[in-house]
Structure 1
Amino acid sequence: MSFDMILAEIKSSLALTPAYNDISPLRRLVAQIRPRQATDKQRATDNIRALCFVLRQHPAWRKALREYVLQVISTRTLVHLLTDTGITLNNGFWGAAWQRLINKFLPPLVNNDYVKDIFGQIFDHPSDHIWVNELDESTWQDLIDSIGFRTSKARQAHAALTNEILSAVQVLSYRITNIGLEAELVRNYPEIERFESPFLRQNDEINNYVISYRTWLNDCTTAREDNKHIEVLLSQCDDIVNRIRKTAAVAGVSVSLTRLLLRLTQSMHRLRSLLDLLDSTDANEVSSIAIRLFKELVSADNKRHSLTDLMQTNTELLSLQVTERAGKSGEHYVTNNRNEWMAMLRSALGAGFIVGFMATIKILFSKLALAPFGYAVLFSLNYSTGFMLVHVLHFTIATKQPAMTAALIARAIDEGKQKLDELVELIVRVFRSQFIAIIGNIGLAIPTAYVIAWVWLWMTGSHLVSPEKAEYLLHDLDPLNSLALPHAAIAGVCLFLSGLISGYYDNKASYGHIPARLRQLAWPRKIFGEERLHRITDYIGDNLGALAGNFFFGIMLGTIGQLGVFFGLPVDIRHITFSSANFAFALVGLDHHISWQLALYSLLGILLIGIVNLGVSFSLAMLVALRSRRVSFGRGSTLVHLLWRRFRSGGRDFFFPGKEQHPENQAPEQRDQQH
């Protein structure tokens, strides 16, 4: 249907029914403007220009469209569109997620009396926000001028719309006051209770402002207050929000606090937009503010059922804290000198020794006749206990590093975007630390497993693994003829998730004051005594994240393979350190009757499994860390070039530490990390 037909229909409908406000013609008008491809800005621009041309050529249609649009808006309640659309509701994160999921399958009832509901009916394509926001402000301004909203009749409707906006301003102000009194906000900023709260004062000022404005609307000869004093109070509210965010960087944060801060900042942003709209005296400025608000509302309405958008907006501060704490943990996995490098080697060797025994226990568990659930429990117990023991003994699993060091690199990118040379040196140290950790893990996992297999044969007279089992273990290392690499990728995802879990529980221990709360319990004090209880609770506070991450990582490794068996899916995990131990078991189980080509090929498989483990874990962790910081790094090619040049000039530094440097000759970030 063309613009001519739609506009003619609107004119004839108004002639028959002066109070005509059905939105069907408006929906068809927007559909005619909408480009086939949401990203086709030029087509959308051309469509609006075509509509503007038609309106200028037909003054009667122009007048009819103006009266029709004003009637559609003024005969319905506008407040809810301005106060609800684009602002997080106070129903909790999980409640909001469940509601959005339900609304995807069973949309809520449309109330024709609310502009908020018909707004979603008019811009009903999920991608409408793309072309609406892509269009230049001047294009929308041309459309406003072509419709002619500045006529005397349009100004008559202005008072009714202004009163709706004033009501929305009051609603937003009350919400800001309510959020400012929330117990969780007060807990994170106790000064609110000791001083006069700007959250309360802004509401008093808003109420006075609204009364003054409505008086002025009725009698334009009276003076009208501006919003400058309100802006001062809102700025004070902003300061409190920023202080709470800084406190959260040290004391931790929760989803509920993140959601409160999000709702507060959204409400204050919308309140400022409406106040600017009310106070502006320049017609072009009013149009500019209205267009920005319109684009904002279309985007929010299109995403009102999006679970992805809910996750991104409501967990942003929490995800930043989780990755930030992972980044701080990552500092312990970066070696800066020869002593730290050797300490990392010793730590990795210790982990390799323990993994050799863990692999043995898993082999023994697999010989039991159990259901998949039984295997999952025993395997998970083995993995979780072993990994937690590795942490308690201050050993290092190489594959745990990428999830931590990726967050450290993301923080370096965010804090020093221009210092590529320092970033290169950080990556060199990370690579060097990762390399020696892998060497240490494999370097002792293989001989430990090898010795255990021979001791088992000597003690029992039979091999730990049968020849058939040995062939199966070697097949699992085949990178081409088995699913070794996809299974290694699954293990990489588990490593990434365990890093997030570690960051989450570190944040939880800090925000929830777990050590202090444990010290309040009477029975631990009786068992351990006051001094020992303090040491235990302090250890829990410092290590809860690492212990939880290792515990859940073990559960993931132990259950995924059994879930694959239960559901009949080719799903399992491959981990470089356990794969290297399995290679040693197979070697003894076959009495070394394998060709050197097969041995070399199996070692290549182990290497590729490790690369996939590390690559997947690092990539996912880096992606999340950058997104949580809203950082986009567009200088990747330059960084790669600098890394290659650095490798050519000193390739040895990627694997072995150089000579000791005097502190003043080191990069600033090196000195900071050493301190």
Structure 2
Amino acid sequence: MVPAEGPWDLSALLTSADADASLPERHLWLVRLLEWLRHAPLPQQQPMQAQTPTPLLRLRHLLNVLERHPQHEVQVRRVLRRFWEEVDTAALLADYGFSPRTSLLGELGQRLRLRVLPGTPDTRDLGELFTLLFPQERDAEWLEAIDPPTLQRLITLLTPKDHADAVNWKAPFLDAIMFLATSIRALGFSPMIRARMSRELLVAKPFRQLARVAEDIREHAENGNAEALLVSAQYLRALLDTCRRCALSVNDHLEEHGISVDLVFELDQLDRRTHRIEDLLNCVISNNPGTEVTRLLAQLVRTAGERRSLREPFTRHYSMLARKVAERSAETGEHYITRDRGAYARMLKAAAGGGAVLAGTTLMKFFVMALGLTAFWAGFWAGVNYAGSFVLIHLAHWTVATKQPAMTAPAMAEKLRDVSNDAAVEGFVDEVAHLIRSQSAGILGNLTVVAPLVLGVQLAANALFGRPLVGEASAEHVLDSLTLLGPTPFYAAFTGVLLFASSIIAGWVENWFVWHRLDSAIMWNPRIVSHLGRARAQRWAEFWRNNISGFTSNISLGLMLGIVPVVSAFFGLPLDVRHVTLSTGQIAAAAGALGTQVLHEPAFWWCVAAIPVTGVLNLSVSFLLAFRVALRSRGIRLRDRSRIYRAIRQRLWHKPLSFIVPPR
């Protein structure tokens, strides 16, 4: 086993150099030699430009020692010669940093194995050995710092003296170019990518020509035809640029027809392979190949660091998915932002309608709980009750206040395309003010209807039937569970997480719907058209295209509100939900059951005090989570985020009423 660091003595290392040792022992010797170079790395906070890196100083010392001791130099040269003869260098140049699989999950699995399973020096694949040779990403810094004289001395050491033909060192580079060209051609011909590329760009058939031009480059390099090599290299660069533009044209299809994470992953692999070929070309045709090879080696070291990260592929490949989810939610979210008094009044009316429906939802929940069902089925039917009510509100174009942030935060993120100037930031702060006013209207409309309506039904039932619909036992339970003195704030924040999750689920499902072109299938599928008729099939296709996101978010939210608490209880997790509108309705039902004497109970007022806290946490948590996704999808930097937050605080300090009162 090779330790990460070790006090290796250079004299002992040079003495132990043995070209006749077994392959793993020789590779282990190289690993230890590189460990000796980095034995005393610079502190993390010390800039590399301030002084010569310690590994570079040790490299110069090593070269000096070898020049002064020819017997050691001979042994080291023999070890290095056998190394270059036996390892597959092309595997490092062509495959390292690329996934052999075409899915993101497969790449994540491979990275997990690289982190968990130890490597072995008993391999001829230089790509596998590379991680042991350069385990630290900071190795790239001292590699790039190698000065030309030291680099020339190192090249002299690495190059066998009896290799008179300079083309020999180029062979693995030419092989790698050929392998990469074949891989790019295969990706370009894959059905999922080929069907979505621009037809105009494919007229020149760039993918088909890659392998042939790569063969031409090999032939010219082996024949020493420098002029023809430069011409073919220039043509290959043009083909690679066309291939990249073809890959970028796929994004236009994604904007219109949905997005697939695996497709984005394949496009990223294609793009990276084209750039790797250009780096290899630089090494082959450069007048100073040593510098280009060193630069490529440093890049491969950084790639090794990326390969050890499990977060990096998520951050990179899900950013586009997050942006599409944000944009799809934004299509609906724009309708939930009020910017003038007329829109504010319409929001109040829509919220009042939603409050009326949720009053019935509240009473129906008490009915479900009174059935005496087992915990799971009670939670399931409570979730069905919520989901049905939310869908009804959606179809009636009414509003559930706490669903606004998850839908409108992506809409606001659309305003963040350019935050490089103060005017753009101020425009975004205006959107924040519009949103908070909209939320205030939604909450006000919901609560001013749900509370009196539930209370009125309770009083009417008591007058007609001699007892309220919700009894005193249930009312006492409500006052015990919804009090501010209990875990209500935590549960309200958790409900905000569920609100956010429902919007993400909706974005995924809508993307899936669009990706598989189900609206087109409903509209044109012969069997569906024969049953529905052409006109009805078109109406159904348009209906589902316009409502799939709304249905998904409302149904998923309703089911989560009902089922998550009972599933959590099964696993012993103390989780429950607190929705501001539903909680207000339950408190009103409790007041109707207990009568006016409830006004003298502190428990009642603690429940009333919990209502604004519940509303704020529902809204803020769901909004902040959704807004974080929107910011990440746009790649907003931390510095720009600080500017945005500072501008919001300044507006809140100088014009607090702008967040509550609509403009005239």
Aligned pair in 2 of structure 1 residues 516, 597: CA closer, same or farther (>3 Å)? same
Matches within 5 A, 1:173-322: 173-189=181-197, 191=199, 195-216=203-224, 225=231, 227-283=233-289, 285-287=291-293, 289-303=295-309, 306=310, 308-322=311-325
Match of 1:606 among 603, 611, 628: 611
Aligned pair in 2 of structure 1 residues 198, 161: CA closer, same or farther (>3 Å)? same
Deviation at 1:597?
Answer: 5.4
Unmatched runs of 5 consecutive residues or more in structure 2: none
Amino acid at match of 2:338: T
Amino acid at match of 2:376: F
Distance (Å, rounded) in 1 between the aligned partners of 2:40 and 2:297: 19
**Structure 1 residues 169-178 or 187-196, which shifts more?**
187-196
Matches within 5 A, 1:9-28: 9-14=12-17, 17=20, 22-28=26-32
For the Cα contact (< 8 Å) 2:523–2:540, is it kept in 1? no
User: In the alignment, which residue of structure 2 is the partner of 1:355?
Assistant: 358
Match of 2:482 among 472, 477, 480: 477
Deviation at 1:373?
Answer: 2.2
User: In the alignment, which residue of structure 1 is the partner of 2:628?
Assistant: 623
Matched, 1:540 2:544: yes
Amino acid at match of 2:520: A
Unmatched runs of 5 consecutive residues or more in structure 1: 660-675
Deviation at 1:547?
Answer: 1.0
Matched, 1:453 2:433: no
Distance (Å, rounded) in 2 between the aligned partners of 1:471 and 1:45: 75
TM-score by length of 1: 0.87
State, as a whole percentage, how many aligned pairs show the same letter: 22
For the Cα contact (< 8 Å) 1:253–1:321, is it kept in 2? yes
Distance (Å, rounded) in 1 between the aligned partners of 2:52 and 2:361: 65
User: In the alignment, which residue of structure 1 is the partner of 2:425?
Assistant: 420
Matched, 1:396 2:396: no
User: In the alignment, which residue of structure 1 is the partner of 2:472?
Assistant: 467
Distance (Å, rounded) in 2 between the aligned partners of 1:285 and 1:99: 32
Aligned pair in 2 of structure 1 residues 649, 568: CA closer, same or farther (>3 Å)? closer
For the Cα contact (< 8 Å) 1:333–1:405, is it kept in 2? yes
Matched, 1:76 2:80: no
Amino acid at match of 1:353: A
For the Cα contact (< 8 Å) 2:506–2:549, is it kept in 1? yes
Distance (Å, rounded) in 1 between the aligned partners of 2:149 and 2:626: 46
Aligned pair in 2 of structure 1 residues 158, 42: CA closer, same or farther (>3 Å)? farther
Distance (Å, rounded) in 2 between the aligned partners of 1:658 and 1:334: 13
For 1:188-228, what per-residue CA distance to the aligned partner results, in whole angstroms no more than 9, with x for missing partners? 23616972321112332222112212222xx8899664521
Distance (Å, rounded) in 2 between the aligned partners of 1:70 and 1:446: 85
Matched, 1:113 2:124: yes
For 1:213-264, what per-residue CA distance to the aligned partner results, in whole angstroms no more than 9, with x for missing partners? 2222xx8899664521111111111222222212311221122322221221
Any idea what SS the aligned residue of 1:573 has?
A: coil
Aligned pair in 2 of structure 1 residues 657, 332: CA closer, same or farther (>3 Å)? same
Distance (Å, rounded) in 1 between the aligned partners of 2:122 and 2:550: 51
Aligned pair in 2 of structure 1 residues 290, 16: CA closer, same or farther (>3 Å)? closer
Aligned pair in 2 of structure 1 residues 84, 550: CA closer, same or farther (>3 Å)? farther
User: In the alignment, which residue of structure 1 is the partner of 2:565?
Assistant: 561
TM-score by length of 2: 0.88
Aligned pair in 2 of structure 1 residues 285, 328: CA closer, same or farther (>3 Å)? farther
Distance (Å, rounded) in 1 between the aligned partners of 2:634 and 2:122: 39
For 1:81-116, what per-residue CA distance to the aligned partner results, in whole angstroms no more than 9, with x for missing partners? 223222233343444445555666666887611111
Aligned pair in 2 of structure 1 residues 182, 425: CA closer, same or farther (>3 Å)? same
For the Cα contact (< 8 Å) 1:81–1:116, is it kept in 2? yes
Matched, 1:89 2:100: yes
For the Cα contact (< 8 Å) 1:372–1:562, is it kept in 2? yes
Distance (Å, rounded) in 2 between the aligned partners of 1:521 and 1:397: 36
Deviation at 1:47?
Answer: 3.7
Distance (Å, rounded) in 2 between the aligned partners of 1:640 and 1:194: 46
Deviation at 1:526?
Answer: 4.8
**Structure 1 residues 60-69 or 500-509, which shifts more?**
60-69
Distance (Å, rounded) in 2 between the aligned partners of 1:249 and 1:396: 29
Matched, 1:364 2:367: yes
